[in-house]
A = this chain, B = another copy of it.
Amino acid sequence: MSINEEARWLNAEESETWLSVWSMMVWLPVRLDAQLREDAGLSHPEYHALSQISMAPERTIRLSELAAASNMTLSHLSRVITRLEKAGWVQRAPDPVDGRYTLGILTDAGWEKIRSAAPGHVEAVRRYVFDALTEDQRRALGDAAARIVEVLDPPGFVRA
């Protein structure tokens, strides 16, 4: 990220690669978030939570499972769900099986919300990522990213 470092540690080609990768990591989420925000009035975590619940059986999921599936802390998820609840898209209910769990239940309004928001979001991913690349580039990007993720070793990551 700095000339200081680059001069000491990264050669010119590495620096250029790093600048591109860094810029992508900064701006891709910004653009995707902006699309969701403008077209659906949702933040990405809100979208993701609605999407995940919509795919669960009975459109119902335990918050702790949702957090794990979303790479989100329970802490953060709790606040997201609170907003979704205020908007009328999700309801909370204690799990009748084990009262310690809280269920997130998608309302009909929530179902409509995610149904209407999804196409635009996928279209944005396609526009910003896949339309920009050739098939060879797409594969190379996937391979390099997969390799880096392997080294990063995120919790819960399952190797293909």
Contact = CB atoms under 8 A, between A and B. Distances in A.
Contact of A145 (B13, B23, B157): B23
Interface of A is mostly: helix
B152 A24 contact: yes
Contacts of A48: 1-2
Given A1-B48, A55-B4, A114-B4, A9 B142 contact: no
A118 B2 contact: yes
A151 B29 CA distance: 13
A140 B144 contact: yes
A133 B21 CA distance: 14
A126 B10 contact: yes
Interface string A28-45: 111100000000000010
